[in-house]
């Protein structure tokens, strides 16, 4: 039975089920035992396609990122395209709580691929189309990539804190009150912006950050 299942079972099925397990149980819940139980197969059928958990995590990360980057959207200006790619990654990281740490690990552990080149290519080609000089392509793209992944990852981490006990409004009310109560001489800026924390929209704030970087890139290179 296991041999017959090994032939029928595809790598895509295994990766899709791995993503489901990661979404519900986190990295610790992704085991080959749990995977075989969910797929109703034997371990040999899994190992036929995936050698170990590390390879499976990399494959799951790559699949989710590929889906986010391939999402259909109306064609727009290079600036619109950068915003769309950024928002696609933001939404994917928000939807899959395990994704941000995996992306961070892959960016540092395996920058040669396959995930890192896909992300840089998806943003970099639109940076090029903005008219940025070739010598600045990598720097401008890196600034955008690191902002997108960092800000999206922090937002996802904040969301996990919220879901652990408080709803979003309660959480932001508490943060706002705490900032407003800081020492006026030591933290004058934090006190001034405390009220904004309560009412801000995470996605709008994220896109505003993308726009700030794009505007800076345009100003530095005198782009139209």
With b for 16 or more beta-carbon neighbours within 10 A and e for fewer, the 71-96 pattern comes to eeeeeeebbebbbbbbbbbbebbbeb
Read off the CATH number of the domain in which 156 is found.
1.10.357.10
In this prediction the pTM is 0.87
Contact of 14 with 49, CB cutoff 8 Å = yes
Spatial separation of the C-alpha atoms in residues 114 and 218, rounded to whole Å = 29
| For residue 10, cis peptide bond before it (omega within 30 degrees of 0) | no
Query: Who has greater pLDDT, 76 or 94?
Result: 94
Q: Is residue 6 part of a domain?
A: no
Residue 42 CB: number of other CB atoms within 10 A?
Answer: 16
**Rounded mean pLDDT of 136-148?**
97
Q: What's the total number of domains in the chain?
A: 1
Contact of 51 with 90, CB cutoff 8 Å = no
Contact of 160 with 102, CB cutoff 8 Å = no
**Rounded mean pLDDT of 94-122?**
87
Q: What is the pLDDT of residues 178-199, one digit of tens each?
A: 999 999 999 999 999 999 988 8
Question: How high is the pLDDT of residue 2?
Answer: 43
CA nearest neighbour of 59 among 8, 6, 22, 25: 22
**Rounded mean pLDDT of 194-205?**
89
Task: Place 76 in a pLDDT band, splitting at 50, 70 and 90.
Answer: confident
Spatial separation of the C-alpha atoms in residues 134 and 128, rounded to whole Å = 7
Asked whether residue 95 carries a pLDDT value surpassing 50, the answer given is yes
Q: Is residue 79 part of a domain?
A: yes
Q: Which residues contact 162 (CB under 8 A, 6 or more apart)?
A: 168, 171
Question: How high is the pLDDT of residue 74?
Answer: 65
Cα–Cα distances in Å, from 7 out to 15, 47, 53, 65, 142?
Answer: 16, 12, 21, 27, 42
Task: Place 6 in a pLDDT band, splitting at 50, 70 and 90.
Answer: very low
Place of tokens 């309660």: 170
Q: Is residue 170 part of a domain?
A: yes
Residue 165, domain extent: 75-220
Containing H/E element for 157?
helix 137-163
Q: Is residue 61 part of a domain?
A: no
Task: Place 1 in a pLDDT band, splitting at 50, 70 and 90.
Answer: very low
Q: Is residue 55 part of a domain?
A: no
The 3-state DSSP composition of the chain as helix, strand, coil percent (nearest 5) reads 80, 0, 20
Question: How high is the pLDDT of residue 3?
Answer: 45
Q: Is residue 114 part of a domain?
A: yes
Q: Is residue 42 part of a domain?
A: no
Top mean pLDDT of 39-43, 100-104, 183-187 is at 183-187
Work out the mean pLDDT of the chain and round it to a whole number.
Answer: 89
């Amino acid at each position: 039975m296991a041999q017959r299942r090994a032939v029928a079972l595809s790598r895509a099925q295994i990766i899709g089920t791995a993503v489901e397990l990661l979404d519900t149980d986190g990295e610790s819940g992704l085991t080959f035992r749990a995977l075989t139980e969910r797929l109703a197969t034997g371990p040999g059928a899994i190992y036929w396609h995936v050698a170990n958990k590390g390879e499976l995590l990399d494959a799951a990360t790559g699949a989710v990122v590929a889906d986010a980057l391939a999402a259909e959207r109306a064609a727009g200006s290079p600036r619109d395209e950068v915003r769309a790619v950024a928002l696609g990654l933001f939404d994917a990281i928000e939807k899959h709580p395990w994704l941000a740490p995996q992306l961070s690990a892959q960016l540092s552990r395996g920058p040669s691929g396959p995930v890192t080149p896909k992300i840089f290519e998806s943003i970099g080609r639109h940076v090029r189309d903005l008219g940025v000089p070739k010598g600045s392509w990598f720097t401008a793209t890196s600034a955008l990539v690191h902002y997108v992944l960092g800000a999206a990852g922090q937002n996802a981490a904040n969301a996990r804190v919220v879901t652990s006990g408080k709803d979003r409004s309660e959480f932001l009310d508490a943060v706002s009150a705490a900032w407003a109560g800081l020492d006026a001489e030591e933290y004058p800026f934090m006190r001034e912006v405390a009220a904004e924390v309560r009412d801000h929209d995470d996605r709008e704030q994220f896109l505003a950050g993308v726009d700030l970087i794009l505007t800076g890139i345009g100003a530095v290179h005198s782009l139209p």
